[in-house]
Amino acid sequence: MIEFLELPWVQRLVFGLGGLTVGFLFEYVVVDRVRHFAEWTRFKWDDLLLKAFRGLPTVWMGVAGVYLALNVGDVDPRITGTAVTILTIVAIGAAVLAGMRLAGGAVEMLSTKAAGTIQSPTLVVNLAKAAVGVMGAFLILQNLGIEITPLITALGIGGLAVALALQDTLGNLFAGVQIILSRMVRPRDYVRLSTGEEGFVSDVRARHTTIETFPDGNLVTVPNSVLASSIVKNFTFPNQALWVSIDVGVSYSSDLDHVEDVTTDVARAVLAEVAGAVKDRAPIMVYKSFGSSSIDFEVRLMVREFRSQGPVRHEFIKRLHKRYELEGIDIPFPIRTVIMQGQTPS
């Protein structure tokens, strides 16, 4: 048995499998217990670190085990050199993967805490990961003995040709960065574009921004260049609460003071009782014009968010119509006099 264990290929196998086994046990015993402990703490960065390095200790221990196996017995130097190069690439690649996870997770965590910015947009997360990935690729090339200065120069020259061929794609990419940096929109903001599209902003990606329509919930993709160049009305920013305007008309024979008292009374009741209304903001009623068949005025009610305006408007119209009937206030039908050619008006 001892002679069998002294065989070089057996020792190499033991080192290789041993490294993977140690890494596996470290991952699922030590790291798993640390992860459970981190979930109980309020500090979120420890959770991010554990997620970033998930699965990588096994890789690194396996690399170490294979490296030790290469030093057992006589191994062809060419095989050893090639294997060491591959192991170096794997080890650095695992570290780069951890860095990409950390960069993406840090962007998501910081953006959720920053007021007035879009929370963890896909574009920003991917750009952060790509930046770390590019630096990791250069590090790997440098460790392989490849001179990266000529490569960077060649990439710069080739980048001009790529930029010309991908003008639309790059235009949308930079427009997406502009949208995020300018804080034009945030997730769940309700926006209306001058091109007609409107809905809740869902995400900003490299080529387009996704908007969820209301109330059907369909997704509309708007190219970032179109969004950046459009006139955008944001119903959520800087204030989420907004005014709901309802146009009403009463007959010319109405007592306007009485109409105003009744209307504001109904509006106050709606604001106090309907969910989604802002109770501490008084309603506004303003007479606007002498219409063709009625005296027209506008009632404005404040609601907490865009989706609340439908129920508030619905309940106000119902209650106002019922109250007008009880008070004898007439909402006239439009009246139009038509004179036929050749007839004398009576």
Between CA 200 and CA 210 the distance in angstroms is 9
Alpha-carbon torsion, ordered 58, 59, 62, 66, to 10 deg: 180
* Residue-level pLDDT at 56: 81
Written out in words, the top-level CATH class of the domain with range 185-234 is: mainly beta
Q: Are 298 and 256 in contact (CB under 8 A)?
A: no
* Residue-level pLDDT at 101: 85
Q: How sure is the predictor about 117, in pLDDT bands with cuts at 50, 70 and 90? A: very low
**3-state secondary structure at position 268:** helix
Between CA 297 and CA 287 the distance in angstroms is 4
Q: Are 182 and 149 in contact (CB under 8 A)?
A: no
Q: What is the separation of C-alpha 122 from the centre of its chain, rounded to a whole number of angstroms? A: 7
Which CATH number is 242-327's, of 3.40.47.10, 3.30.70.100, 3.30.450.40, 3.90.1640.10? 3.30.70.100
The model's pLDDT over 141-193, given as tens digits with 9 standing for 90+, comes to 777 777 766 666 666 656 555 555 556 767 777 777 777 777 778 778 889 88
Between CA 118 and CA 211 the distance in angstroms is 13
pTM of the model: 0.55
Q: How would you label 303-318 residue by residue, b for 16+ Cβ within 10 Å and e otherwise?
A: bbebebbeebbebbee
Structure tokens at 86: 């591959």
The model's pLDDT over 314-333, given as tens digits with 9 standing for 90+, comes to 999 999 999 999 999 999 88
Structure tokens at 122: 């896909």
Percent of the chain predicted with pLDDT > 90? 22
